[in-house]
C-alpha cells in the first residue's frame, strides 16, 4: 500500500491540515496536524509511521512549491507515545520535550507504550504485516523542547507549554495570536488517561488547572486535540475542570493504581526488547 492510500487529509483553512491514518481504526488513532507558516512548516504528531508521511504530504502538494522556502519540515511530538511518535524517524528535523528525548533516542517501546493489535489495522500496509512486529524506531531529536520555547513559523508562533500528567514530557503548542491550542493527549473530548506507567495524577491536576486558566484568561478559542474531534473553549473548561473534580477522590485513586499496575505488567511483557 502506498502512502497516498494510507493517509487522508482535510483542509481546515489558513494553512492548517488534519491528517489521519485511514486503516488504523482505533481510539488510539492520533490526529496528525500540518501547519504551514511563511518561514517554517510543522507537523504536530506523526502517527504510527507505517507508511511515509513526508511522501504523502509531498504527493498531495500540501506544502506548495515556493522556491524561497528552504527550511525542512519540522515534526514535533506532543509526547513520545507510539501513536504520536511512530513516524518521527521519517523527518530530518524532530522536536520533543526534554523529558522524553531518551525514550525516543533509545527506541524504548515501554515508555512509548507500544501496544498495537492486528484488529486495529483493518488493511495491512504491506503483505504479511503483523502487529507483533511493530516497534517505534529510534530517532535522535534535533530540537529539545522546554517550557516557554517559541517555534517561529514566520507569520505565526507556537509556544511550548509543558503539561505533564498523561506522560512526563507531554506538551501543548499554543498559537496565542489565533487563540489555538494543539493539545496532544493532555486533553481531548474523551476519557483522559492518567494510569500509564509514566503518568502522574498530581501533575495532571496541575496541567488541567493551567488549562482552565487559559480559558478564563481568554487565550484559547479552539482546541486541536490528539484524538477525536476539535472543540472550543467552553468544552475545554468543562473537560479540564471535570478532571480536577474527580481525580482526587478515593475511587479514582484506587482505579488509577490498579490500571497502572496492569498496564505496566502488560507493556513489559509485550515490549521486553524495548526496555533499557
What is the per-residue pLDDT across 97-118, written as a single tens digit (0 to 9) for each? 999 999 999 999 999 999 899 9
- pTM of the full structure: 0.89
Note the pLDDT of residue 258.
Answer: 52
Kindly provide the residue ranges of all beta strands, DSSP E only, lying in 128-170, ordered along the sequence: 143-145, 150-152, 157-162
- Which ranges in the chain belong to alpha helices (H)? 3-6, 53-59, 82-85, 101-105, 201-216, 233-247, 250-270
Note the pLDDT of residue 276.
Answer: 26
Higher pLDDT, 191 or 177: 177
How many CB atoms within 10 Å of residue 90? 20
Note the pLDDT of residue 246.
Answer: 87
Note the pLDDT of residue 275.
Answer: 32
pLDDT band at 2 (very low <50, low <70, confident <90, very high): very high
Average pLDDT over residues 20-35: 96
CA dihedral angle for residue 135, residue 33, residue 40, residue 101, rounded to 10 degrees: -30
Q: How many angstroms separate the CA atoms of 24 and 12, rounded? A: 22
DSSP 82: H
Arithmetic mean of pLDDT over the chain: 90
How many CB atoms within 10 Å of residue 5? 13
The fold for domain 3-271 equals Metallo-beta-lactamase; Chain A (3.60.15)
Amino acid at each position: 500500500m502506498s502512502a497516498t492510500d494510507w493517509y487522508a487529509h482535510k483542509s481546515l483553512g489558513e494553512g492548517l491540515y488534519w491528517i489521519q491514518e485511514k486503516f488504523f481504526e482505533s481510539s488510539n488513532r492520533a490526529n496528525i496536524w500540518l501547519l504551514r507558516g511563511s518561514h517554517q512548516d510543522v507537523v504536530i504528531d506523526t502517527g504510527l509511521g507505517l507508511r511515509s508521511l513526508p511522501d504523502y504530504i509531498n504527493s498531495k502538494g500540501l506544502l506548495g512549491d515556493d522556491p524561497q522556502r528552504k527550511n525542512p519540515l519540522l515534526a514535533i511530538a506532543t509526547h513520545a507515545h507510539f501513536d504520536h511518535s511512530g513516524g518521527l524517524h521519517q523527518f530530518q528535523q524532530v522536536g520533543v520535550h526534554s523529558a522524553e528525548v531518551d525514550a525516543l533516542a533509545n527506541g524504548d517501546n515501554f515508555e512509548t507504550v507500544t501496544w498495537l493489535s492486528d484488529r486495529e489495522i483493518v488493511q495491512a500496509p504491506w503483505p504479511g504485516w503483523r502487529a507483533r512486529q511493530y516497534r517505534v524506531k529510534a530517532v535522535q531529536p534535533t530540537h529539545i523542547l522546554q517550557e516557554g520555547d517559541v517555534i517561529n513559523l514566520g507569520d505565526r508562533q507556537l509556544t511550548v507549554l509543558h503539561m505533564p500528567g498523561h506522560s512526563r514530557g507531554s506538551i501543548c503548542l499554543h498559537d496565542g495570536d489565533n487563540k489555538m491550542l494543539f493539545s496532544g493527549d493532555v486533553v481531548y473530548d474523551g476519557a483522559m488517561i492518567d494510569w500509564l506507567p509514566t503518568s502522574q495524577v498530581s501533575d495532571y491536576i496541575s496541567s488541567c488547572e493551567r488549562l482552565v486558566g487559559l480559558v478564563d484568561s481568554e487565550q484559547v478559542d479552539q482546541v486541536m486535540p490528539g484524538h477525536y474531534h476539535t472543540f472550543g473553549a467552553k468544552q475545554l473548561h468543562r473537560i479540564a475542570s471535570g478532571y480536577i473534580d474527580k481525580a482526587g477522590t478515593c475511587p479514582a485513586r484506587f482505579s488509577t493504581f490498579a490500571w497502572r499496575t496492569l498496564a505496566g505488567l502488560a507493556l513489559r511483557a509485550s515490549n521486553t526488547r524495548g526496555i533499557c
